[in-house]
Amino acid sequence: MNVATLRDRVWNFLKDNGTHWPEADVVNYLNDAEVDIARRTLILRDRVSPISAANAVYTLPPTTIELFTVTYLGKVLPRVTEEEVSNFGGSGSGSDWTGTTTQVDAQVASHVYGPWGKLRFAVYLKKSGALVSDYLCEVARRPSAAMAVGGSPEIPEAYHEALIYYAVSSAYLKDFDLRNPDKAKAFMELYMGHLAVSA
């Protein structure tokens, strides 16, 4: 379904035509729904290279929700904790893993995915000549852009009905005389049930 169809379906449940719930509000509810579905299901996935590197801190795309794997030239790098990183050492490298500005050898590297979408590497052996594009990250992400009338959701069609339920639930929580928490709860239950079936 495209956004216009989704909007009309929401209005149909609300028995409205935009008088009480303007189009802009409904589209905002649908956008909130798509973000929520992406976070709950991790359904939107990409394989991307980090955007940039500075002092061994690699920035992932701002839409990233979760990082699954990191590979360097096809080799999966193990995942470690920051506490483990602080205990790293070895010949040819120091423990100041955040300070290195060179790339790392896949044979001797691990990664930590911290808050704010930062990807950092613990380095045993430095490798010169590697490129940021040599690294590939499998990530789950939020929608790349907000929906607008005339557009379509990024999430698969199997979740489009859930978008409608979420939007109707949000509409019934709007702070005005048609506010109805009971109906909002009922549609949220439909939303959660649909996600469970579609998963």
What pLDDT is stored for residue 195 in this prediction? Answer: 92
Same domain, 136 and 49: yes
The DSSP string of 55-69 is TTEEEPPTTEEEEEE
Q: Are 128 and 160 contained in the same domain?
A: no
Cα–Cα separations (whole angstroms), residue 81 to 5, 65, 111, 113, 117: 46, 18, 8, 8, 15
How many domains would you assign to the chain? 2
Report the length, in residues, of the chain.
Answer: 199
64 and 118 part of one domain = yes
11/36 same-domain check: yes
pLDDT one-digit tens code per residue, 41-76: 999 998 877 655 544 455 667 788 877 777 777 777
Whole-number Å distance between alpha carbons of 180 and 176: 9
Please give the average per-residue pLDDT across 185-195, as a whole number: 96
| Of 1-15, 33-47, 106-120, 128-142, minimum mean pLDDT range | 106-120
What pLDDT sits at residue 48? 78
Per-state percent for the chain, helix, strand, coil, to nearest 5: 40, 20, 40
- Classify strands 126-127 and 103-104 as parallel, antiparallel or unpaired: antiparallel
Is residue 106 over pLDDT 80?
A: no
Among the candidates 117, 141, 165, a domain finishes at: 141
By residue range, what is the domain housing residue 90? Answer: 45-141
Cβ neighbours of residue 166 under 8 Å, at least 6 residues apart? 29, 30, 32, 33, 36, 37, 187, 188, 191
96, 169 contact by CB (below 8 A): no
Assess whether 76 and 121 both reside in one domain: yes
Domain boundary among 102, 121, 141: 141
Categorize the per-residue pLDDT at 105 as very low, low, confident or very high, splitting at 50, 70 and 90.
very low
